[in-house]
Amino acid sequence: MTHPVYYFEIPVTDMDRAVKFYEELLGTKLDREVVDGYDMARFPFADGAPGATGALAKGDVYKPSKDGAIVYFHVEDIEATVAKAKAMGRPVLYPVKDIGAAGFVAEIEDSEGNRLALSQLPEEAK
């Protein structure tokens, strides 16, 4: 097993607001459905491609928080993505930082109050 993380769920309280935020921030379309009675919006997934996928999840067991696990989203331009989040009124929790050979990271607060991490590969790794 090369990547043990397969799937994640990000808690939300307002699914419409959260879907709008993530689609705008990441420039991707989420697919909405109800699973086991819970409102979900799934991130894209391509079989055989690297990485994990997940969903936004709304329901009585899902509580947004800045505490707990942090999910990192790969972005092509971390500075532009952080600027977009700021323009959307979201606070920066950890400014863009160069972490050497692993590239760049930053953290913002999503529309629901969760800590959301961003990661960009260094130029030589692209």
Domain count, the chain: 1
**Is residue 2 in a domain?**
no
Q: Which domain holds residue 81?
A: 7-125
**Is residue 54 in a domain?**
yes
How far is Cα 108 from Cα 125, in angstroms, rounded to an integer?
24
**Is residue 94 in a domain?**
yes
**Is residue 1 in a domain?**
no
**Is residue 30 in a domain?**
yes
**Is residue 35 in a domain?**
yes
**Is residue 101 in a domain?**
yes
For the chain of 126 residues, list the mean pLDDT of each consecutive stretch of 10: 82 98 97 97 86 94 94 96 98 97 96 97 76
**Token pair belonging to 52:** 């994990």
Predicted local confidence at residue 110, as pLDDT = 97
**Is residue 31 in a domain?**
yes
Predicted local confidence at residue 58, as pLDDT = 98
The angle that helices 78-87 and 15-26 make with each other, rounded to 10 degrees, is: 140
Predicted local confidence at residue 14, as pLDDT = 98
CATH of the domain at 58: 3.10.180.10
